A = this chain, B = another copy of it.
Amino acid sequence: VRSKGGVVEAGRGYPLIEDRIQGEILRYVRVVDRSVARSELTEALGVSRSKISLAVGRLLEAGLLVEDGLAESEGGRRSSLLRIPRAAGLIAAVDLGATSIDVALSTLGSELVAHRGEPADVKEGPKAVLGRVKDLLSELLEEQGASRHDVRAIGVGVPGPVEQASGLLRSPPIMPGWDRFPIRDAFAGEYAAPVFVDNDVNVMALGEHWGGVGKGVDNLLFIKIGTGVGGGIIADRSLYRGTQGCAGDIGHICVDPDGPVCSCGNRGCLEAMAAAPAIALKAERCARDGVSPRLSGVLEERGELSAKDVGEAASVGDYHALEIIRESGRLVGQALATLVSILNPSLIVIGGGVANIGHSLLAEIRSTVYRRSLPLATRNLPIVLSELDQIAGVTGASVLAAEGVLQTTRVG
């Protein structure tokens, strides 16, 4: 296996498909998520009956489709239904967070079959973190009685901006040592499968759109609030990445021109004022000022405070903790109102570690967005918590990889 132009070169069974129509067939069957008749494919893809028959024949030979029961009669002889079998192969899905690793295996239909998550520190650098990722993948494969050769594509979400053309991280602020690290190549020695890399929030948006609360929604915003703040945009049913792949990077929207200086050099960025570190910092200030005995107690006991501590304090009625959470909600809501004016989505999904800090966060986000946006844009605009939560990332990484490999007919 050699690497060329950033994409792993042909190994066993790669490229998976031979032409565009084969890819379209498999992508269609993936999405409808049931067995499909040839006639439905002809209709849905607007391709001639004979081309569909030819392509289906090749996919059956390759084991990427199997016949599965008979279609309803349409007057003529009954034709068999088609579906993607489990034996068609696996997708390896990886979700790197600032403080966590999640690894999963899924079918080619992006149904998770195994998942494992553990705490990690992305600051340990690519070698250590990706080494651990590969160990976890090996364990999962072994448990499933599968091997590296069964992996047809690898999807990776990372907590930083990814340049789409190269698949490289570009100056990721919270990932020292990862700038321009060739993540794709890290798998090349062991896996003969193509590797698709994208920003973690884009990947979570894909996951929630594929299998969560955003299923079937055309225009969706996924907002992650954790160590950073970011957004993933589904526009007209597709992930919108922008020109350099950094669309949705809302952490550096200015919410207060007089606010604190952010790591990016500007003042009052949303991330610097509302994400987990800002919440912890405000809590430490309260604890030191002695206005919140509860926060002071935790700080004294442990020497530091986390966003989670603030959530717990708020849940037992600590007024200052509640105010800190509400302020984050208000700031996120303020930026979201702008996003709503620009993108006019029909659903906003809030995820990430801070999302579950307490209901007052969501309540404050909602009331700020509804107050600040134009009535037409918010008439039918639910703002909800992520449904997939911990598995939104790996689900989306699987979707990224499956969609990617089914659009790749040539290598290089």
Contacts and interface: CB of A to CB of B under 8 A. Distances in A.
A405 to B, nearest CB: 19
A379 B345 contact: no
Contacts of A171: 375-376
Interface string A366-384: 0000011111110110000
Given A48-B51, A250-B342, 19 more contacts: A46-B47, A171-B375, A171-B376, A235-B240, A236-B240, A240-B343, A242-B344, A242-B377, A243-B344, A243-B377, A243-B380, A244-B344, A244-B379, A246-B374, A246-B377, A253-B338, A254-B337, A266-B372, A339-B342
30 contacts: A47-B48, A48-B51, A161-B376, A171-B375, A219-B242, A219-B243, A235-B236, A235-B240, A240-B240, A240-B343, A242-B344, A243-B377, A243-B380, A244-B376, A246-B374, A246-B376, A247-B342, A248-B342, A249-B342, A249-B344, A249-B374, A250-B341, A252-B341, A253-B338, A254-B338, A254-B372, A264-B374, A266-B371, A342-B342, A342-B343
Contacts of A371: 266
Nearest to A251: B341
Interface string A331-342: 000110111011
Interface centre among A218, A253, A343, A371 (most CB of B within 10 A): A343
Contact of A344 (B219, B238, B245, B342): B245
Nearest to A48: B48
Contacts of A161: 374, 376
Interface string A236-278: 1010111111111110111000000000101000000000000
A274 to B, nearest CB: 15
Given A231-B342, A246-B374, A337-B254, A50 B47 contact: no
A409 to B, nearest CB: 12
Contacts of A241: 344
A127 interface: no
A334 B266 CA distance: 12
Nearest to A264: B374
Contacts of A337: 254
Contacts of A238: 236
Contacts of A372: 254, 266
A315 interface: no
A173 to B, nearest CB: 9
Interface in A149-200: 161, 163, 170-171
B254 A376 contact: no
A341 B243 contact: no
A253 B235 CA distance: 20
A281 interface: no
A245 B380 CA distance: 13
Interface in A336-359: 337-339, 341-346
A21 interface: yes
B376 A247 contact: no
